[in-house]
Amino acid sequence: MRLLFISDIHGSPDSLAKLSSHMEQWRPDHLVILGDVLYHGPRNALRPDYAPVDVCNWLNRHKQRIVAVRGNCDSEVDQAMLEFPLLAEYSTLLVDGHKFFLTHGHHYHPGHLPPLGVGEILAYGHTHIPQLAVVAENLVAFNPGSLSLPKASLPPSFGRYEDGTLHVVNLDSGLEMMQLDLELEKSKWV
Amino acid 119: pLDDT: 86
* Side-chain-side CA neighbours of residue 59 (13 Å): 31
Per-residue pLDDT tens digits of the chain, which is 190 residues long: 999 999 999 999 999 999 999 999 999 999 999 999 999 888 888 889 999 999 999 999 999 999 999 999 999 999 999 999 999 999 999 999 999 999 999 999 999 999 998 889 999 999 999 999 999 778 999 999 999 999 999 999 999 999 999 999 999 999 999 999 998 888 777 6
Name, in order, each residue with C-beta under 8 angstroms of 138's C-beta and a sequence gap of 6 or more: 118, 119, 185, 188, 189
Element containing residue 177 per DSSP (H, E): strand 176-181
Let me know the angle formed at the C-alpha of 184 by 101 and 90, rounded to the nearest 5 degrees.
5
Amino acid 186: pLDDT: 80
Helices 52-61 and 13-26, packing angle to 10 deg: 20
Length in residues, the chain: 190
Amino acid 118: pLDDT: 85
